[in-house]
Structure 1
């Protein structure tokens, strides 16, 4: 038996994890199905099956499309790069649709009409004929916005017709007549196209006419999305590629008892579906059930004739398959030649790629009813389930300067036109600064806010670059002792990261995130000048903050993955030249030399030299993409900025200075006018003060005080008392005026005698 040492061995206390002060935030998403924020729980681990309604490709993409696709791009990036979900993102392209068919026919017929080179009088005659059904449509229109649009169209056409007749009657030259004829064709294109389609639309049989239109605008859409830095879908589906799958899907819906055939069309039976156990129709917008206007719009312009509407068992039923009509592309089916309905395409393609239950389905808020409600019904009828979509996410409306944006109202701005005015990053910042599910106004005020925010962030990164240039970045010298200022800033940085995490967990609240970044940047902007007067700023702390902010904006898609916020293209053929690294040593020497000259000029009071230095800073360098900032008591700060940005800033500065000058001038004029009015008021004898106010008074006493109002009623005591006070005040002013006149006369007399 071993000897013991006599020491008692104490047992170690059991370790237990600390109690958290609060639970970490978890991702919640606003779910249109429940109309509230719900914990996001994918059905299969970290995998997320996501389907997004894509464009109907019959025209150029506009800012309404940008509203949806940029918003969903931001959500997708955050869920992938911040929350690390494994997402399969599927999006459709609608290339078979009533709008595409009609637009393709109209374009074809109108182009053929123009190619005939009809004389001007024939164009006028056809325009007048086409105006008849157009005016009938105007008379029936109940929507005020549409009616206003029709009135504008009518006025434009009538003006073009009048101009054409005037030009001909004045015996104008051939060139002028051709121009007037062209203006008439442009003004009347819509009504002529509609009229031609009503006459000859059924004669268009070439299928390529429809496919060429959709292919062209699909390509145009992808160019726009790339310009906006919107990530492409993982899977892109086109209806034209899925017609066999649509037919099989529709057949199974019929077999399950939820579809019926009528005159070669197949309709979804909403009554049977609603009465079936575990099925619910119009889950997203139950209050819209029976909304005939929305239902007709959902069926499509070519599918709402009385014949087609009468084919249905119920007005609430909708087409799964549309029987073919002359002038439409068709495919063979068990029910005869026809084409897919609009709603069925998404149910079929999403299910073909992602299966019987999606984690996320996204689309614009205007698609809720009937499109998305019909999608849900079809898919759940096919799979006999009640959970085809777990989370329905809808982006908010877009307005333009407060007005509804709509292609049908011809009130829209194309993405290409928007990018002529603002950069893709500025447009994305506009969306980031607002909630993705709320209505967003695209206008000068909101864009000004986005541009100001961009400048705030840009100035922060310029400041960071300036600190990097003037502060050691490696080795022992890089590590400075932290003082109270660094501890305070680091705490704000830490709080900001926590705030941003909570904001992104809160249904991906980018506005709150951007606000938190803005506050952190402001804290850095306060920290740097305060520190510079005592010691150098802590480069490592500021670089960490900058790296975090840059990471968030890269996640948001506001910065390309391989760039920084201030990336400047050199235009060099090698493609590997760092412009800033190359030119900054020379600019630094130049800026310091200029600063020495300014010091001498101030000491010697040579203002002309100071003006030359200021002109160099304000006029010459901005044209070279250089911003030079003079800092009192510190070395000048040099920033390489996009030349166009600097020139716009200069224009804005001049505009503001001019606005201030005009405001100052107006104030001066107003003050002079008020002074003149006061002087003129003094000259009025009190007895005449009220007599001109015949719109108020009808009788006056011997002093000129009013006694009766304009209707002949005696004034109340309070009114008499009030007028007496005004009278006495005027009497005082008038006496002062007379006294000043008397003094002036006496002075003039004295001068005359002395002369």
Structure 2
């Protein structure tokens, strides 16, 4: 297999190192799909320019957007933010919406036909029969496709194994790997259809609930029925000619997609283009390619001439040269459009003659509509011209979509000598579920709206930022676990810095630096350098976040070392708030660049994770006073102090509260909570209640009243509590998780006890079922001594003599030993078995109650 040469022309200055003051500096490198390697990023206008252009393939709006789409658009939103907010580029960002496409036409028409079919008052049995027939038809088609792909892969592997080359060319390996991945996807589809067939065969209808029966059938067979209805309608010449059906379908899902992007916090594009609004530009684009001799007309359609394109000196298949000529590696939209009108299999449609029942526009070649790829070339060219800096999209768009885009643009700008329409092509890796890419066709997708029911937009963004953007990632528990841990680390970091800052503001003390501060400052500078290196290296957001995580760990170690220090402490100086604020400001800046936080205007240096905001001093003073009052009460209760001492503390605090006036908002809520808590403690002290009740009241303040106010109260080993602001829902979720863990632990402990008692019961019941000792030996002995119990005669009535007597004694002792545990238990407590049953029943009910 011959080696494939990739074509890329570096922008002017991309091949020379960047220098400042005579020294080479680190440059930004991006993984460019045109070369499949990292290359220096330089704008088309030259190394000194900060102006860049970027076109990204937007959605084909035929269905809801899923998390695989989120991976693409949210990831590129992160990269865009890094380029704009960290590196300072001014980016013109263009995104299209494909609202005219085969998938939209098929989905809208099929949905319409299925709805019409279901409105024909069909019986449930009729619908079930049609559903089964439709599934079987799809099963036959998929089985054939799977067989074809298996055959092609086998042939390719066989050819390579007999090749004279010692090593397989990189492109050859890529083709085999991609076919293996595609085969896995097709196997998944085959299983889905097989499962649907089996489900319908085993489906038992209610016979009484018509709607429920219909839903059961449509839930697994609706798509297959719609496809069968569409095939039948085409054969019968039935047209769905109402153009509003297609337009309404696309408009619905476009609005849905844009709403999802807003929910994810993605910056909107600077320019949004729709295919339906660029038909004149698309027609002109096709015409010029025809005029340049790199397209041809056939029966009202226009096809791109890949052979003539190459003869004119251009390269076809720049992104995936190994996929050229393989229909099985083409995306579904292209491979489904087979026709005898094409001159070569690699040719593709620029303009499609309309079929009955499809939307169309007038053109020089008759009624028709744009091909799949021409829209992006035409729309991007109309905004960005003959060259752009960045073009982006998902991995699955490389071939044929993006390769065909490149070819169309070069053919359009042929007389300008265009050999490279895009300087940097960026592609996100697949989002995989159980080893398969997330896809609507595979029916394994999770919609963005469903994902946002489980994760916040921040959590999804953090999850994707923790992955290498151009590599495949698994969507599952592992990614969720890492994201949850990182989010908790970030939130705790900001809250800890907030506590230190608040305390220092109260004491007004700024101590001189020690070796600890010098070390932390160096750690901060090292993190800043490493983050910059990671961003320069293909915008490695995961590496940058690792550097941030390492910095936070150093801050935590610093705080742990300083814990207990205060302005008047003899055991060392307090933590340095100014240095901590500097670290927090830097962490905030990087998180803001990634879009993970929005920096509040009134709180520079802190994130929008819940922390105290300025202008709420009175409320914070109340929280401080309440926390200190609770610390003092807990200390007294733990030391078994007199109730009068607790009452005295209450009186002093009541005087402090009475001096607090003019409160509103949160401060008023804190005041009310503090007052109720103080009154409860005073009442318990005056009534000389058990000191445990006072401690219980302190716990309830922490676990209930303050949680509802969004205040996290953490009891420290030194007896002093620290308060932090947090989301009440988060606090409740943590409480529920802790309660569940405690319940699980209790269940496990009770289950262990229950298992042991059940084994005891089983053992003793078996012993009770055994016959008396003499009866158990009756198969060997016929007579026994009335006093000793030893056997005297064998089973045939013969008197035992010599060694036979000794053996009989051993047999008796062995039989007695088996029954000894039961004998002993009965001697101790004749009702022990009944009591054991009661204990087993009680343990079973306790476990059921905890699990319930």
Give TM-score, length-normalised by structure 2. Answer: 0.71
Q: CA deviation at 1:251?
A: 1.1
Cα distance in structure 1, aligned partners of 2:361 and 2:335? 18
* Residues 354, 369 of structure 2: 8 Å contact kept: yes
CA distance 1:401–1:582, change in 2 (3 Å) = farther
Equivalent position of 1:428 in the other structure: 461
Q: CA deviation at 1:665?
A: 6.7
Find 1:519's aligned residue among 550, 558, 570.
550
Equivalent position of 1:591 in the other structure: 627
* Residues 49, 354 of structure 1: 8 Å contact kept: yes
Cα distance in structure 1, aligned partners of 2:42 and 2:270? 21
Q: CA deviation at 1:392?
A: 0.6
Q: Residues 513-544 of structure 1: CA distance to partner in whole angstroms, max 9, x if unpaired?
A: 11111111111111123224322211111111
The aligned runs of 1:712-727 (5 Å cut-off) are none
The aligned runs of 1:158-307 (5 Å cut-off) are 158-160=201-203, 162-163=204-205, 167-168=206-207, 172=208, 176-200=209-233, 202-277=238-313, 279-295=314-330, 297-299=332-334, 301=336, 303-304=337-338
Q: CA deviation at 1:255?
A: 1.3
Instruction: Name the SS for the 2:595 alignment partner.
Output: coil
Say yes or no: does 1:463 pair with 2:505.
Answer: no
Say yes or no: does 1:347 pair with 2:373.
Answer: no
* Residues 289, 408 of structure 2: 8 Å contact kept: yes
Q: Residues 424-457 of structure 1: CA distance to partner in whole angstroms, max 9, x if unpaired?
A: 0001000111111111111122112101111100
Cα distance in structure 1, aligned partners of 2:396 and 2:633? 64
Q: Residues 477-498 of structure 1: CA distance to partner in whole angstroms, max 9, x if unpaired?
A: 4643111111010000011000
Q: CA deviation at 1:295?
A: 3.5
CA distance 1:194–1:24, change in 2 (3 Å) = same
Equivalent position of 1:72 in the other structure: 76
Equivalent position of 1:395 in the other structure: 428
CA distance 1:34–1:479, change in 2 (3 Å) = same
Cα distance in structure 2, aligned partners of 1:665 and 1:495? 51
Q: CA RMSD, aligned part only?
A: 3.3
Say yes or no: does 1:157 pair with 2:193.
Answer: no
CA distance 1:117–1:641, change in 2 (3 Å) = farther
Cα distance in structure 1, aligned partners of 2:409 and 2:20? 46
Instruction: Name the SS for the 2:639 alignment partner.
Output: helix
Cα distance in structure 2, aligned partners of 1:353 and 1:33? 22
Equivalent position of 1:359 in the other structure: 389
CA distance 1:132–1:671, change in 2 (3 Å) = closer
Find 2:91's aligned residue among 78, 87, 103.
87
Q: CA deviation at 1:614?
A: 2.6
Q: CA deviation at 1:177?
A: 3.2
Q: Residues 292-350 of structure 1: CA distance to partner in whole angstroms, max 9, x if unpaired?
A: 1233724264x33xxx2x11111111111111111211111111111111111111111
Cα distance in structure 2, aligned partners of 1:298 and 1:199? 21
* Residues 258, 273 of structure 1: 8 Å contact kept: yes
* Residues 631, 719 of structure 2: 8 Å contact kept: no
* Residues 306, 347 of structure 2: 8 Å contact kept: yes
Instruction: Name the SS for the 2:376 alignment partner.
Output: helix
Instruction: Name the SS for the 1:472 alignment partner.
Output: helix
Say yes or no: does 1:118 pair with 2:161.
Answer: no
Cα distance in structure 1, aligned partners of 2:70 and 2:187? 26
Find 1:552's aligned residue among 590, 596, 614.
590
CA distance 1:270–1:470, change in 2 (3 Å) = same
* Residues 260, 449 of structure 2: 8 Å contact kept: yes
Q: CA deviation at 1:130?
A: 3.4
Cα distance in structure 2, aligned partners of 1:87 and 1:369? 26
* Residues 246, 345 of structure 1: 8 Å contact kept: yes
CA distance 1:179–1:292, change in 2 (3 Å) = closer
CA distance 1:447–1:344, change in 2 (3 Å) = same
Cα distance in structure 2, aligned partners of 1:565 and 1:154? 53
Equivalent position of 2:163 in the other structure: none
Q: CA deviation at 1:661?
A: 4.7
Say yes or no: does 1:618 pair with 2:703.
Answer: yes
Equivalent position of 2:539 in the other structure: 508
Say yes or no: does 1:376 pair with 2:406.
Answer: yes
Q: CA deviation at 1:422?
A: 0.8
Query: What stretches of structure 2 of length at least 5 have no aligned partner?
Result: 1-18, 147-185, 565-571, 642-690, 762-809, 829-852
Q: Which stretch shows the higher mean deviation, 202-211 or 400-409?
A: 400-409
Say yes or no: does 1:454 pair with 2:491.
Answer: no
Q: Residues 213-247 of structure 1: CA distance to partner in whole angstroms, max 9, x if unpaired?
A: 11111000010000000000001111111111111
Find 2:526's aligned residue among 495, 501, 511.
495
* Residues 47, 87 of structure 1: 8 Å contact kept: yes
* Residues 295, 316 of structure 1: 8 Å contact kept: no
